[in-house]
Amino acid sequence: MIHYKRFTLDNGLRVLVHEDHNTAMACVNILYDVGARDESPDKTGFAHLFEHLMFGGSVNVPQFDAPLQEVGGENNAFTSNDITNYYITLPSANIETAFWLESDRMLSLAFSEQSLAVQRNVVAEEFKQRYLNQPYGDVWLRLRPLAYKVHPYSWATIGKDLRHIEEATMEDVKSFFQKYYVPNNAIMVVSGDVDVEQVKALTEKWFGSIPSRKLEKRNLPAEPRQTEARREIVEADVPVDSLYIAFHGVDRLHPDYPAMDLLSDILSRGSSSRLYRALVKDQPLFSEVNAYVMGSVDNNLFVIEGKPLPHVSLAEAEELLWNQLALIKQENVTDMELQKVKNKVESTMVFAELSILDKAMNLAFYEALQDAALYNEEVEKYLAVSTTDLQRVAQHIFVKENSSTLLYHAKEKQHAE
């Protein structure tokens, strides 16, 4: 359990403080409630581009990293389809430096044509190297729009079209900043060797004068229920054949989310998991096979992916995966199987509570989701899942009409499909 206290500034900035005096370090984590799902369909990739721009310097601090390095600090950030998260870890004695730097770029980010040009090029190169010029790199550029027809999860965080980034204008990025990078759209979590009164004073000093702005209510289109199977077959320069099957699942706050997540663990977590034992270990038919839940805030995807061995065709591989899904739908998993994955989830969450950064990020995410208090209820929700719950959720999710299948045929390999 993570103990914390909270307060909110007059400008709407929500602040959570977790005291941990077993360390000499502190973490300042700021989550902005904006991700790729908030972008316009004709201007995608902006949330990720902006993550890069936030390190381009402010009006008062031309180089964000320089003063941080001088006080022994480190920083980084990440963007998802749901959020953008920035964090700084540093000796607690120097924590005010983090408040100064984060508040300064929230208030006075430098909008220079040079910085925009540099970061546009950086993101464009990332798009090319990771998504266009790498084997299987375009999986999510294909699988997302195959599975989502209405919801903005249909594009990846990097964006759906390289031109959207290449053609981003100064007016575009300023508009994005003014719309989302405001204190009343942010959550700050401070963890480590700090105390609440100290954090209150520093927050008021550095963030209290930053004006809030009216936020537009998020009104995303709901993805309609999928009623027929979808398929896409790709001939590509990839080392081996590969397949991906995506199923629509529940949202992050749905009561069945823990059961869905545990299903992915039973199928694919560790060498004793069902898919690994059946298809890799006991009877070598795949070189690798995985199952996972995307963990999105809205309607999730449950994804199964695998690379069959050369003597197994994609058609055979697909049938093998569906056979395994049929088994988990027809018979309850054993109590031992379920307890094993529950133990792994519990241990993962316990270990996460050893890191001040993990604690800060988890509190921020759950606060953005609905309420930070939900984090402390997670273990109990997972432990309450029954074998009956797993079978019910499996029967609901693993149906052909709810599937979107992407098949990669390696160009050099002959096939009869």
Q: Do residues 268 and 292 touch, judged by C-beta distance below 8 A?
A: yes
- Tell whether 218 is covered by a domain: no
Verify that 330 and 389 share a domain, yes or no. yes
Residue that has been written with the tokens 């039973």 in this structure: 266
Q: Does residue 174 have a pLDDT over 50?
A: yes
- Tell whether 61 is covered by a domain: yes
Among 156, 176, 208, the domain boundary falls at: 208
- Tell whether 216 is covered by a domain: no
Verify that 143 and 279 share a domain, yes or no. no
Task: Write the DSSP assignment of 233-300 as a string of letters.
Answer: EEEES-SS-EEEEEEE---TTSTTHHHHHHHHHHHHSSTTSHHHIIIIISS--EEEEEEEE---SSS-
Query: Mapping DSSP to helix (H, G, I), strand (E, B) and coil, where does residue 118 land?
Result: helix
Verify that 365 and 241 share a domain, yes or no. yes
Verify that 184 and 279 share a domain, yes or no. no
pLDDT band at residue 185 using 50, 70 and 90 as cut-offs: very high
Residue that has been written with the tokens 């969450």 in this structure: 349
Give me the number of domains the chain comprises: 2
Task: Give the pTM.
Answer: 0.93
Residue that has been written with the tokens 């949202």 in this structure: 251
pLDDT band at residue 415 using 50, 70 and 90 as cut-offs: very low
pLDDT band at residue 413 using 50, 70 and 90 as cut-offs: very low
Instruction: Collect all residues with Cβ–Cβ distance below 8 Å to 390 and sequence separation of at least 6.
Output: 259, 262, 263, 266, 328, 332, 333, 338
Verify that 241 and 187 share a domain, yes or no. no
Verify that 24 and 98 share a domain, yes or no. yes
Task: Give me the catalytic one of 51, 102, 318, 367.
Answer: 51
Range of the domain at 41: 5-208
- Tell whether 417 is covered by a domain: no
Task: Supply the DSSP symbol for 109.
Answer: B
- Tell whether 221 is covered by a domain: no
Q: Do residues 115 and 70 touch, judged by C-beta distance below 8 A?
A: no
51 catalytic? Reply is yes
Verify that 130 and 175 share a domain, yes or no. yes
Mean pLDDT of the chain: 94
Verify that 185 and 242 share a domain, yes or no. no
Q: Which two tokens stand for residue 92?
A: 């607690």
Residue 86 β-bridge partners:
30, 77
Provide the pairing of β-strand 403-410 with 230-236.
parallel
CATH code of 28's domain: 3.30.830.10
Q: Does residue 417 have a pLDDT over 60?
A: no
Verify that 305 and 377 share a domain, yes or no. yes
C-alpha–C-alpha distance, residues 305 and 289, integer Å: 6
Verify that 353 and 279 share a domain, yes or no. yes
Verify that 401 and 307 share a domain, yes or no. yes
Query: Mapping DSSP to helix (H, G, I), strand (E, B) and coil, where does residue 338 land?
Result: helix
Verify that 269 and 370 share a domain, yes or no. yes
pLDDT digits (tens, 9 = 90+) for 350-383: 888 889 999 999 999 999 999 999 999 999 999 9
Instruction: Collect all residues with Cβ–Cβ distance below 8 Å to 69 and sequence separation of at least 6.
Output: none
Q: Does residue 83 have a pLDDT over 50?
A: yes
- Tell whether 143 is covered by a domain: yes
pLDDT band at residue 92 using 50, 70 and 90 as cut-offs: very high
In which element (H, E) is residue 139 found?
helix 139-147
pLDDT digits (tens, 9 = 90+) for 311-357: 999 999 999 999 999 999 998 899 999 999 999 999 998 888 889 99
